[in-house]
Amino acid sequence: MNLKHAIFFYPSMERGGVTVNIKHLINYLTNNNIKVTLISSKIDKKGPGFQKKNFIFLRVNPFLKLFFLPYRWLIAFYSIKNLIKSFSLYKKENTVVLSMQSSMVAIIICKFYGIKVVARNSEDPLSSTVYADNYFLAFIVFIMRFFIYNFANGILTNSLGSKKSLELFILNKNKVKTIYNPYLLKIKKIKKIKKKNIILSVGRLCKQKDFETLILGFSIFIKKFPNYKLVILGDGPDKIKLENLIKNLKLEKKIFLKGWIKNTEKYFSSAKVFALTSLYEGLGNVYIDAINFEIPCVYTNCKSGPDEILLNGKGGYKVKIRDKHDLNFKLEKCVLNYKLSQDKARQAKKKIGRFYYRTTCPRYLNYLEEISLK
């Protein structure tokens, strides 16, 4: 095998599915005698654990937040010295950088030093630009991505929808490849338990996830189904805004923001419905969790991600983006036809093996080996 050293570039470690994917990939590669270097600002002690003894961890100290640039950009620039340092650990012909974040920085540095680099794109680049918090910065990033991504040795996406979007500005389409997330460690055998009247949602409290529409749609739904509650697991910059919305709607006893929960299994086990109203996704790992627990899903019609997991509506109920009334309608349809809704979830679960780590991790290893030989 030509590949001896894989460098994971993920400067700003965040809670969520990406961290889980990285953990599974690192452990799989180290178990296959590949030396791994992780470059990140921190390892979240509350998140999934890493087998640190099997790889070198280059800690990046948090940078000052008093600049006009986004914090993630500052951390990426601050990580450059460690990225360059990691190049000396093995021969460059045996090394591949897998950039999980801030890929433009990684591509530029790797091309300058003659190191092969793969950019992993975890979201739909067009939709993330359209729905960005800062349109000016998002447009700059989009234009830069248009030029810089073409210099990568390879580009990985986690969904076919994201691949289709990326191919619009990649000259060599053969560079773009889809490998689903190595997310699942186990496909669950579900025991029959009594479900609670809970609609569950999980995600970062930010514009992308659009929890405002979820809360407004639920406020309509609750008028007809007063015994239901909405539980949201996650944290983020929109927390205060969402708390004020819940307070204004006088739904403090019906909607609960629980923050990040280490063990979410009890919530997935007992919830009757899973709902998420994202404006865009790359894939959407929480939907994989939901169908693994056979929970009926109500989801927005993003251009990439959820539709692939939920079989274009055959595995769940599809909702128009930012449409609280359509959300209410689909929630009603889901609970009123609950046996059918459960059948939909089970139908989606039949295809869940696509996200099993034993299926996808070997594909990552083979792809990185292929890149190392080019």
Q: Which long-range contacts (C-beta less than 8 Å, at least 24 apart) are formed by 126-135?
A: 126/165, 126/168, 126/303, 127/165, 127/279, 127/280, 127/302, 127/303, 127/304, 128/208, 128/280, 130/280, 131/207, 131/208, 131/279, 131/280, 133/206, 133/207, 134/70
Take residue 125 and report the two structure tokens written for it: 């680049």
Of 2-16, 230-244, 304-318, minimum mean pLDDT range: 2-16
- The whole-number pLDDT of residue 1 equals 84
Take residue 23 and report the two structure tokens written for it: 């953990």
CATH tag for 196-354 (out of 3.40.50.2300, 3.40.50.2000, 3.40.50.300, 3.40.50.620): 3.40.50.2000
Confidence category of residue 57, pLDDT binned at 50, 70, 90: low
- The whole-number pLDDT of residue 47 equals 42
- The whole-number pLDDT of residue 46 equals 45
CA distances from 298 to 4, 203, 251, 288, 343 (A): 43, 14, 21, 13, 14
Alpha-helical segments (H) within 207-356: 211-224, 239-248, 265-270, 285-292, 306-309, 324-336, 338-349
Decide: helix, strand or coil at residue 7.
Answer: strand
Cα–Cα nearest to 322, from 232, 214, 230 = 214
Q: Return the bridge partners of 317, or none.
A: 298
End-to-end C-alpha distance for the chain, whole angstroms:
13
Mean pLDDT value of segment 263-274 = 94
The answer, yes or no, to whether residue 53 has pLDDT greater than 90, is no
Report the C-alpha gap between 260 and 263 in whole angstroms.
9
Q: Are 205 and 234 in contact (CB under 8 A)?
A: yes
The answer, yes or no, to whether residue 142 has pLDDT greater than 70, is yes
Confidence category of residue 158, pLDDT binned at 50, 70, 90: very high
Take residue 262 and report the two structure tokens written for it: 């280490």
The answer, yes or no, to whether residue 67 has pLDDT greater than 60, is no
Q: Are 322 and 213 in contact (CB under 8 A)?
A: yes
CATH tag for 5-182+356-372 (out of 3.40.50.2000, 3.30.420.40, 3.40.50.300, 3.30.565.10): 3.40.50.2000
Confidence category of residue 51, pLDDT binned at 50, 70, 90: low
The answer, yes or no, to whether residue 259 has pLDDT greater than 80, is yes
Can you say whether residue 76 is alpha, beta or left, with left for phi > 0 and alpha for psi between -120 and 50 degrees? alpha
Report the C-alpha gap between 293 and 342 in whole angstroms.
10
Q: Return the bridge partners of 99, or none.
A: 9, 119
CA distances from 99 to 45, 105, 133, 172 (A): 22, 9, 23, 19
Tell me, rounded to whole angstroms, the distance of Cα 164 from its chain centroid: 18
Confidence category of residue 75, pLDDT binned at 50, 70, 90: confident
Q: Are 43 and 50 in contact (CB under 8 A)?
A: yes
Q: Are 153 and 117 in contact (CB under 8 A)?
A: yes
**Residue tagged 């009594």 (tokens):** 194
Confidence category of residue 69, pLDDT binned at 50, 70, 90: low
The answer, yes or no, to whether residue 242 has pLDDT greater than 70, is yes
Q: Are 149 and 168 in contact (CB under 8 A)?
A: no
Report the C-alpha gap between 344 and 347 in whole angstroms.
5
Report the C-alpha gap between 312 and 323 in whole angstroms.
18
Confidence category of residue 45, pLDDT binned at 50, 70, 90: very low
Q: Return the bridge partners of 201, or none.
A: 232
pLDDT, greater one: 69 or 260 = 260
Going 46 to 50 to 52 to 55, the CA torsion angle's sign is negative
Of all residues in the chain, the percent with pLDDT exceeding 70 is 91
- The whole-number pLDDT of residue 190 equals 86
- The whole-number pLDDT of residue 343 equals 97
Residue range(s) of every CATH 3.40.50.2000 domain in the chain = 5-182+356-372, 196-354
Instruction: Tell me the one-letter amino acid at 63.
Output: F
Confidence category of residue 192, pLDDT binned at 50, 70, 90: confident
Cα–Cα nearest to 365, from 5, 63, 112 = 5
Q: What is the pLDDT of residues 343-366, one digit of tens each?
A: 999 999 999 999 999 999 999 999
